[in-house]
Structure 1
Amino acid sequence: MESNFKNKKILITGGLGFIGSTLAQRLAKMDADICIVDSLIPDYGGNNFNINGIENNLKVNIADVRDKHSMDYLVKGMDIIFNLAGTLSHIDSMKDPFTDLDINCRSQLSILESCRKNNRDVKIIFAGTRGQYGKADRLPVDEKHLMHPTDVNGINNIAGESYHILYNNIYGIRAVSLRLTNTYGPRHQMRHHKQGIINWFIRQLIEGQTIKLYGDGKQIRDINYVDDVVDALLLVSCCEKTNGEVYNLGGIPKNLIELVETMIGVYNKGDYELIPFDDDLKRIEIGDYVANFEKIKNTVGWEPKISLEEGLQSSFDYYEKYKEHYW
């Protein structure tokens, strides 16, 4: 697969964030010509330390994807765009729906318009989310499952994804969407829990805090290690069969008690307790979620390879070593 990316001009939006920087680390080893764009808005996850060791192998442009003039310039000549910029907080989207709308809808349309006017030959990979489905009607959830999200973020991600598929179908801008599930691993922001509970649990265990689980702790989550997600992004980006398609990612289903007990086992210490839901969280809780990822497996051969124990150990080791850059 490495030969597909050697000397290719690649733009990563949100590239100083969790998944974007891990992707950049991988592409740098493949001698790709990488440009990162990131707004570095506090709390969104961008972190200059995430590109530690590859700073000289890429360009970084501090810009907001909502800035049309910047994007008009940045998309020119690119072979591939990994469009990972966006917000993921279910809670924030309910408290401040217009910012979520701006970042997850307007900015996506702006990027696609820039491509339509300046680079119709590009391949663009959009990062969607399991939150688009809302509460599952059946498990496992496949791509034909109805989407009825429980929060504003899920609705706006549906729109963002739909814009990409529309521009593929109408303008021939090759686009594909991956609906990501709960992703964890190194380079995640660790200052708050709004973008992923698994990494927040990792911080709590490292700090010796008791992890608090809402409800009965039996809610099932589908879990992917970040390196497996990067594999999926790379595979769909260099396969023409993926154009105009949407794919679920999926992984290891665990209920939250099982997950936390596994984490405590890997870290060799820690504790948890069950607490009642507060009303705001209860209203947007999706219940159990398990993805059917047969479609992407059948198309490009992707399936998760990293075991939960292996991924957790790697994550604990990383944050123990570099926590000064994340806490």
Structure 2
Amino acid sequence: MINIDFTGSRVLVTGGAGFVGSNLVEAIVRAGGKVAVLDDLFTGERKNIEPSVPYEFIQGSVTDYKLVRSAMDGVDYVAHLAARNIIVSTKNPREDYETNIGGTLNVLMAARETKPKGVVYTSSASIYGNPRILPIVEDEAPLTFSPYSVSKLAGENYCYAFYETYYVPVSVVRYSNIYGPKQNPANPYCGVISKFIEAIAAGRNLQIHGDGLQTRDFTYVDDAVSGTLMALLSPRADGMVFNMGTGIETSIMGIVELLADLMGRKAGCEHIDRRDIDNIRRRVLNIERIRTRLRWHPQVSLHEGLKRTIEWYQAAQTSR
């Protein structure tokens, strides 16, 4: 693996108060970096970042070019995570467009002027839609089923255009169903694993959209963070797009069974109608490109990742 060392470097993290962003901020500080966070707190919360972690906070949106340009002064690296998620994007496509596409363009335009050593853009495996072949390789033709996947793919295309035209050293990572500590189940936009943990702990039925046989490639947040930072630091990542997952396919009902076993409780299920965003039946990523080019591979198994997430949830409940 590439050594993750930010000693002497200043890093801007857009969306740094969110679930993945806050974990990323803490990892950069542990690696010796100084961090500035730009976040509008639409879904993020400052309390996601541990109080002992030093960082500069800039409250505002990536849709504000002047603010983005100012935040990038003197920055060595930029991790661009700020976005409206798939649920918000489906409800409000215009807000999705302004934040996910316009905000990404603002970051790239500012990077063209300030010339950081590296920029990483966090995209999504949702751009693949229902793929023809599994596991999915990066060159699979995109099939965008939602406003979110459209905007994420547009952001990727802008990254490639700015790399080719203006030599902005940018790379793209396509996340797949990240879970883990700081994914707050009280947040209506959080992922399924945290919601399931909360429901099982409370003795409530789990709401399963559809038959529960749809599959995903669940990625533990620490692995997503390490891969993102390796892409940010390595010149070998510039101009490239990388799948970031585990290469292992797991059904929603499989997650339910694992959680029930780990928590020692029964998990009652209530099958409800599918949502508009539940139109992808199977997803698992091929991660050979990032393995070979950046020497990255996931370190945390699904069983271990779920165990750690349960422990985090239980500790968070105890400290209330």
Partner of 2:302: 308
Give the secondary structure class of the aligned counterpart of 2:136. Answer: coil
- The answer to whether the 8 Å contact 1:216/1:274 transfers is no
Question: What is the CA deviation profile of residues 38-79 of structure 1, one whole-angstrom value per residue up to 9, with x for unaligned ones?
Answer: 1112xx2x1122112434x21111111111111111111111
Q: Which of 96, 109, 112 pairs up with 1:116? A: 112
- The answer to whether the 8 Å contact 1:131/1:154 transfers is yes
Please show how residues 184-263 of structure 1 align to structure 2 within 5 Å: 184-251=179-246, 252-263=248-259
Q: 1:262 to 1:159 in 2, by over 3 A?
A: same
- The answer to whether the 8 Å contact 2:4/2:229 transfers is no
Deviation, structure 1 residue 220: 1.2
Partner of 2:7: 6
Counterpart of 1:49, as a letter, is K
Q: Which of 78, 81, 84 pairs up with 1:87? A: 84
Compute the TM-score of the two structures, normalised by the length of structure 1.
Answer: 0.92
Q: Which of 30, 52, 64 pairs up with 2:61? A: 64
Within 1, Cα distance between the matches of 2:319 and 2:136?
Answer: 37
Partner of 2:164: 169
Compute the TM-score of the two structures, normalised by the length of structure 2.
Answer: 0.94
1:48 is the counterpart of 2:42: no
- The answer to whether the 8 Å contact 2:15/2:80 transfers is yes
- The answer to whether the 8 Å contact 2:126/2:144 transfers is yes
Counterpart of 2:177, as a letter, is N
Q: 1:325 to 1:83 in 2, by over 3 A?
A: farther
Within 2, Cα distance between the matches of 1:224 and 1:136?
Answer: 19
Deviation, structure 1 residue 192: 4.2
Give the secondary structure class of the aligned counterpart of 2:217. Answer: strand
- The answer to whether the 8 Å contact 2:220/2:300 transfers is yes
Deviation, structure 1 residue 322: 1.7
Deviation, structure 1 residue 83: 0.4
Q: Which of 138, 147, 151 pairs up with 1:143? A: 138
Partner of 1:97: 93
Give the secondary structure class of the aligned counterpart of 1:124. Answer: strand
- The answer to whether the 8 Å contact 2:5/2:32 transfers is no
Partner of 2:20: 19
Give the secondary structure class of the aligned counterpart of 1:176. Answer: strand
Q: 1:167 to 1:198 in 2, by over 3 A?
A: same
Counterpart of 2:23, as a letter, is T
- The answer to whether the 8 Å contact 1:210/1:270 transfers is no
Q: 1:148 to 1:228 in 2, by over 3 A?
A: same
Deviation, structure 1 residue 196: 1.7
1:292 is the counterpart of 2:269: no
Give the secondary structure class of the aligned counterpart of 2:311. Answer: helix
Counterpart of 1:318, as a letter, is W
Give the secondary structure class of the aligned counterpart of 2:249. Answer: strand
Within 2, Cα distance between the matches of 1:98 and 1:40?
Answer: 19
Q: Which of 177, 185, 193 pairs up with 1:182? A: 177
Q: 1:113 to 1:323 in 2, by over 3 A?
A: farther
- The answer to whether the 8 Å contact 2:60/2:67 transfers is yes
Greater Cα offset, 213-222 or 171-180: 213-222
* Number of aligned residue pairs: 318
Counterpart of 1:277, as a letter, is D
Q: 1:295 to 1:171 in 2, by over 3 A?
A: same
